Each structure stands twice: as C-alpha cells, then as structure tokens.
Amino acid sequence: MKQSIFIRFTIFILLMALTLPLWGCYKEEFPGRPTVALVVKTLNNPFFNDMQAGAEQMARELEINLIVQAAEREVDVEQQVQIVENLIQRRVDAILLTPSGSREVVPVISRANRAGIPILNLDTRVDMDLLNRDNAEIATFIGSDNYEGGYIAGRFVGQALNGQGKVAILEGIPGHETADSRQRGFLAGLSEYPDVQVVTSQTANWERNLGYNVFENILQSFSDVNAVFAANDLMALGAVEAISSSGRLPDDVIVVGFDAHSEAVDAIRRGIMHATVAQNPFEIGRAGVEYAYRVLNGEEIPDDITIEIQLITRDNL
C-alpha cells in the first residue's frame, strides 16, 4: 500500500516538473525579450487557430515571447475581459485583442492604456465611439473589411439564384460588430436583385450545432427557401448538415459562408457548399505581432491595416 502511494506521488512530482516550465516558458526561457499576448475569442474555431499559427510564426522570426489565451466560447465576453485584466497585472508589453464584445472590452482597454500597455485590435473592431468617449485608444486595427465580404456574398447569391428566390440568413452574435457588418454588407449586395426575398434572419451565435438546429427549423418553416447566407463557416457547415438530414439535394439550397475554413473549402470542392468569403487569419496574426513589435520600438504605424479578402467558389479553388 505504502509503495503504491509512493509510486503515485513520484509520478505526480515528475508530471509537475514537466508541466511547470510550460506555464511561463516564454518569459523564463527567453528573458529580456518583449512579451506580446494574443487574446482571441476562442481556440475552438479553426479561424483563430490559423491566427494563432500566423502570430507564432512571426513571433519566432522577431524573437518575441508570445502568450495565446482565449475564453472557452466566443460568447463569453466576461471571461475574455478577465483574461485581459490578468495580462495587464502580469505587465505584458503589448496585447493583440480580438474582442468578443466590441463595447464590453472598452473599459479594459482603458485600463491597459493607463498601465502603458498598447492594444492592437484584430479582426473585430472595437466600438470607436465608446472608445473615444472613454478617452481610450488602440494602436491600430488589423483585419478584413467584413462589410465588403458580405457585399460580395450577397451579389453571389443574387447571381446564383438568377435574380429570383428566397433567402435565409444565419446571423452571428447580435450586436457584434463583425456579425452586423457582414449582414449589412450581404443585404446591400442582395439589394441589387429586388426579386430575391429574405424570408428570415436568425442568430446561431457563430456555432455549428446551433447552425444545424436553427436551419433545420427554418427548412421546416420555409420549405421553399433557395439559399442561406451564414455569417461564418461553422454555421454554414451546420446548415449543410441540416439540408442533408432533410433529404434535400445539395443543389436545392445554395449555401454561402464566411472565413474559408479548410472544412468549408473541402465542402465547396465536394459540391455540398457553394461559396465562402476568404479572410486570411494567418496573415492577420502575423501582422499583429509585426506591428506590435514596431509599436514597442517606437515606430509610427497606420491607424487601419486591411487584409485582403476573396470569394472562394468551386470555379476558383
């Protein structure tokens, strides 16, 4: 019995010895280097995994210590704010922030400003009106034009329907800048086709399972829907699964997503999804670290850095 306890205790100590260096490996392993934190919405989404990979690559090139943290779910704004609070207390040199809530993160950005820690805003824009009212600031915004991406998607759907049909929209988180911009852009693009009607617009909170459930209900309520625009690819893939479960053929409903996740691109290749708007999260991550490095070296940087987008279809894969 005593021997068994001793063995378990020994294994525990060995595991702790292996794990402890990983918790702060960047600071302990490379003292003297600047430490940059990348705070994304979640690491359960391939988009942010790609952003992390880009940031890590640039951090290696520039010899920067990189910390990557995220909330469990994209909707957990409170947890994300707490993560940023902890990084401020830790006195990191700069923070790259992809806000889960464009308004909710403004107070913590203000606290980072007072601590002298520059914030670089990635992918989802902070509410600039509220930021200005709080006398807070960001060093720059780095990301894609979500409105333009939605506009391109809207025109694609109108053309694919030959200017006539019924469309459903799967929204992201209500009040979220990224979701709102993509939806407004989509509606603007679709408005060029007056005989195409949006029959319903419902949120699925960026999540695949909700995308499936919400679109399954839409198919039951609007059996004649011809197309769906999902504000991200996870919801679009959920819609694809709902279409399949309903017994419909892939060409019965045009499915357009946003982000160009690898699984969505593969779905387009296989003909079960029709298009996605490609951002470049890898490049957003790389640019974030690069411009943080420039800020820390006292360089002037642009207020707005746009990463190019593109509509991916089966024709241009």
Decide: 237 and 264 in contact? Cβ < 8 Å: yes
Q: What is the pTM of this model?
A: 0.77
- For residue 222, the model assigns a pLDDT of 97
Provide the pLDDT confidence category of residue 242 given band limits of 50, 70 and 90. very high
Q: Do 256 and 298 lie in a common domain? A: no
Q: Do 150 and 106 lie in a common domain? A: no
Average pLDDT of the segment spanning 255-259: 97
pLDDT at 29 over 50: no
pLDDT at 229 over 50: yes
3 found inside a domain? no
Beta-carbon count within 10 A of 6 CB: 10
124 found inside a domain? yes
Q: Do 113 and 169 lie in a common domain? A: no
User: Which CATH number belongs to the domain containing residue 60 in this structure?
Assistant: 3.40.50.2300
* Cα distance between residue 152 and residue 162, in whole Å: 15
* Cα distance between residue 279 and residue 282, in whole Å: 9
- For residue 74, the model assigns a pLDDT of 84
- For residue 9, the model assigns a pLDDT of 46
Find, among 199, 200, 187, 203, the residue nearest to 153 by Cα. 187
Backbone angles phi, psi at 102, to 5 degrees: -65, -30
Q: Do 237 and 171 lie in a common domain? A: yes
Q: Do 136 and 244 lie in a common domain? A: no
Its domain, for residue 97, covers 26-141+281-303
pLDDT at 58 over 60: yes
Q: Do 240 and 212 lie in a common domain? A: yes
Average pLDDT of the segment spanning 264-276: 97
- For residue 173, the model assigns a pLDDT of 86
Per residue in 308-317, pLDDT (tens digit) is 999 999 999 8
For residues 8-18, one letter each, b for 16 or more C-beta atoms within 10 angstroms of the residue's C-beta and e for the rest, the string is: eeeeeeeeeee
Provide the pLDDT confidence category of residue 11 given band limits of 50, 70 and 90. very low
Decide: 256 and 232 in contact? Cβ < 8 Å: no
Average pLDDT of the segment spanning 145-152: 96
- For residue 31, the model assigns a pLDDT of 74
How many structural domains does the chain have? Answer: 2
Which two structure tokens, joined as six digits, stand for 109? 């950005």
Q: Do 137 and 285 lie in a common domain? A: yes
* Cα distance between residue 232 and residue 205, in whole Å: 10
Per residue in 62-77, pLDDT (tens digit) is 999 999 999 998 889 9
Find, among 301, 307, 192, the residue nearest to 259 by Cα. 307
